[in-house]
Every structure is written in C-alpha cells, then in structure tokens.
C-alpha cells in the first residue's frame, strides 16, 4: 500500500494543492491527548464545506448514522515546492498520541479535527454531507507516512491524502 501511495505522490509531485479554507472558524472543544498529554486536539466547526482542492467532487448522500470509512484507501499528494514543512519527528508524536487514544472519531463536512504538536499540524475532514467515522490508527499511519515522505528531500513541504472516493482527506503541514 505504501509503495502505491508513494508512486501516486511522486506522480503528483508537480501539483500545487491550495490550503483548505475554514470560514467562520469556531472551536467546539479542545483538549490534550497522548501519554504525556502534550498533543493538542481541537474540534472545529466551519460554515463552509472543506475541500482539499477547489474543484473537488462533492458526493451527495444523506445518512442518519456515521458511515465507517476505517481502512479506506487514499491518494497522497505532496505540497511543492520544498521548504517550510513540519519536523517529521514532531509529527510522530502526534501519530503516537493517535494510537494512545485509539478510538474512532466522527466528522462532518463542516468540521475539522485538528491536532498540533510543535511544528506539526494535521487535520481530517469530511467532504460529504453526512457524518463519517474514521479510525485513529489509520490517521496515525497517514501522519507518519506523509510527514516522512513529503519533505524537502522530495521537494515538498507536507501533503495530504484524499480518499479514493473523495469522501474525506487528511492533511499534514507546518503549524
């Protein structure tokens, strides 16, 4: 899986991905997680739907309970050019905190779940108009993969992984 993600990342290395916009950002809750309680987790509501790219396909479907997308595949995009990326070792602290508190999280298309530790920030958001549920162990794997594979040696500064069906995405960037 990681080799296929790397191949996709390298093939898209020339693509520039705009940072997502959160309008009227409102923090719903904030806490510190992980064994040392040193990783900030913030649940944020936005008045707009969050997209990783301006022309993202928006899927329409109504659901009354969160749809489980744990284990779903995604396509990695590294942000170019190089410079200004997070320290991958600091991102590993977030990845470890996600495993320490390894439960599924629910997200909607107007919310972000943001985690920060020093120079590293990661978030996950949904792009569909129904709630989804994502596993933290999957998020942890993506944080580690993106942080260590989308750095200056790859002419990048962070990146994201967009679900194959574009229902959600995870991003890793400098905080």
Q: Which domain holds residue 80?
A: 2-174
* Number of domains making up the chain: 1
**What pTM was estimated for this model as a whole?**
0.77
pLDDT value for 64: 57
Lowest mean pLDDT among 16-25, 44-53, 158-167: 16-25
Lowest mean pLDDT among 12-16, 94-98, 130-134: 12-16
pLDDT band (50, 70, 90) for residue 168:
very high
Query: Average per-residue pLDDT in the chain?
Result: 80
How much of the chain exceeds pLDDT 90, in percent?
42
pLDDT value for 3: 31
Q: What is the 3-state secondary structure of the chain?
A: CHHHHHHHHHHCCCCCCCCCCCCCCEEEEEEEECCCCCEEEEEEECCCCCCCCCCCCCCCCCCCCCEECCCCCEEEEECCCCCCCCCHHHHHHHHHHHHHCCCEEEECCCEEEEEEECCEEEEEEECCCCCEEEEHHHHHHHHHHHHHHCCHHHCCCCEEEEECCCCEEEEEEEC
Q: Give the tens place of pLDDT for each residue, 45-92.
A: 888 877 654 433 344 444 457 889 999 999 999 999 888 889 999 999
pLDDT value for 6: 33
| 138: pLDDT strictly greater than 90 | yes
| 16: pLDDT strictly greater than 90 | no
């Amino acid at each position: 899986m990681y080799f296929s993600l790397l191949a996709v990342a390298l093939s898209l290395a020339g693509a520039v991905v705009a940072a997502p916009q959160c309008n009227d950002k409102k923090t719903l809750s904030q806490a510190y997680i992980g064994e040392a309680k040193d990783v900030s987790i913030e649940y944020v509501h936005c008045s707009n739907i969050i997209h990783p790219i301006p022309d993202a396909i928006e899927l329409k479907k109504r659901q009354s309970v969160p749809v489980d997308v744990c284990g779903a595949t995604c396509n990695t995009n590294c942000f170019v050019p190089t410079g200004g990326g997070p320290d991958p070792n600091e991102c590993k602290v977030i990845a470890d905190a996600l495993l320490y508190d390894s439960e599924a999280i629910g997200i909607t298309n107007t919310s972000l779940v943001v985690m920060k530790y020093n120079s590293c920030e990661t978030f996950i958001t949904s792009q569909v108009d129904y709630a989804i549920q994502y596993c933290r162990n999957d998020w942890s794997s993506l944080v580690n993969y993106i942080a260590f594979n989308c750095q200056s040696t790859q002419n990048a500064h962070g990146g994201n992984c967009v679900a194959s069906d574009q229902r959600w995405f995870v991003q890793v960037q400098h905080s």
